[in-house]
Copies of this chain bind each other. A is one copy, B any other.
Amino acid sequence: MSSMLVVGSVATDTIHNHLGTHTRVLGGSATFASIAGSFYAPVKLVGVVGNDFPDAGVQVLRQRGVDLRGLEVADGPTFFWEGRYSPDLTSRESLKTELGVFASFHPKIPAEHRDTPYVMLGNIHPDLQVEVLDQVKKPKLVIADTMNFWITGAPNELARMLARIDLLVINEEEARQLAGVHNLMKAARALLAMGPSLVVIKRGEYGALLFEGGSVFSAPAYPCEDVQDPTGAGDTFAGGMLGFLAQQDRIDGATLRRAVIHGSVVASFCVEGLSVERLVRVQPAEVEARYAAFGRLAHFATAAELGSLA
């Protein structure tokens, strides 16, 4: 069992969806990723909140055992995002983004966290992601997320970041945008040429693709019947994936595939509740049961299995 470090945003979100308006609920990439990772391995969070951040938010993270020594409290308002989902939850519109204390944030990795072997760079400015890499000591695996905002707004900074990470986690459309090509096989190859040796393309309700050492793994998504709130699902996916790798403390192809499924498992719980409400209540037995459900969902008799039956 190893441990993981998560650097990213800690926020409050106001969400308008099919169930109503939910005011200043817990949000942020580091929040979701830390809680997801905590089901598998010890998690250390680095981020910033304002002095208006609700104590309940801190308690939620603390109850999941997240090490908060790297969480600064600065004078000013916490990062705030407000958004409205379409009725079918497949798209959303940002209504308000107030950076607050995040505007002047520079991650400071506490000395005791600098040798954490598994590092997640949440979706923040690529220069800040690089600042983290300048502070940590030879991690075994660095995973980073990014988004269209940085692809168009900070392409050179993004390129410098990509050259220094191991695993890029990116949405399908953003993969196409960053690679400049529609076909995902070609897009993945272009992304791999930018630096990371591993790429995971997130496809939402269609699952995820892992590109690793010339092989492709297509992971299904869990067919949720009652999606409540997709906010944070991508961060939860990445955090769960990294947490599982930290738990196993190995990075071979078979373990990476299991990690993608575990990321999908925790993400499937995330969307079943508002904010982190469902995620924080997940029990270890539920994780195991859903991993088994993924096995049933994806299973068919392979050529090798059929050969061994003959």
- Minimal beta-carbon separation of A216 from chain B (angstroms): 6
> Are A206 and B209 in touch, CB under 8 angstroms?
no
Cβ–Cβ < 8 Å partners of A260 in chain B: 300
Q: A215-B296, A217-B297 are in contact. Are A183 and B227 (CB under 8 A)?
A: yes
Cβ–Cβ < 8 Å partners of A216 in chain B: 223, 297
Q: How large is the interface on A (under 10, 10 to 19, 20 to 34, 35 or more residues)?
A: 35 or more
> Are A88 and B182 in touch, CB under 8 angstroms?
yes
- Minimal beta-carbon separation of A292 from chain B (angstroms): 4
> Are A295 and B288 in touch, CB under 8 angstroms?
no
Give A295 to B206 CA distance when docked, in angstroms: 18
> Are B185 and A301 in touch, CB under 8 angstroms?
no
One of B219, B220, B300 near A261 (C-beta < 8 A)? B300
> Are A223 and B218 in touch, CB under 8 angstroms?
yes
Give A216 to B260 CA distance when docked, in angstroms: 20
How many copies, total? Answer: 2
- Minimal beta-carbon separation of A208 from chain B (angstroms): 11
Give A258 to B209 CA distance when docked, in angstroms: 21
- Minimal beta-carbon separation of A245 from chain B (angstroms): 14
Give A254 to B296 CA distance when docked, in angstroms: 11
Q: Is A299 an interface residue (CB 8 A)?
A: yes
Cβ–Cβ < 8 Å partners of A285 in chain B: none
Hey, what's the 0/1 contact readout for A247-264 against B, CB within 8 Å counting as 1?
000000010011011000
- Minimal beta-carbon separation of A204 from chain B (angstroms): 10
| A-B pairs with beta carbons under 8 Å apart, 19 shown | A87-B182, A183-B224, A184-B205, A184-B223, A185-B223, A206-B206, A206-B207, A218-B220, A218-B221, A219-B300, A257-B299, A257-B300, A261-B300, A292-B302, A292-B303, A292-B304, A294-B300, A295-B302, A295-B304
Q: List the 6 closest pairs (A to B, CB-CB), nearest first.
A: A295-B302, A218-B220, A292-B303, A257-B300, A206-B206, A88-B182
Q: Interface of A with B (CB < 8 Å)? A: 87-88, 182-186, 203, 205-207, 209, 215-221, 223-227, 254, 257-258, 260-261, 288, 291-292, 294-304
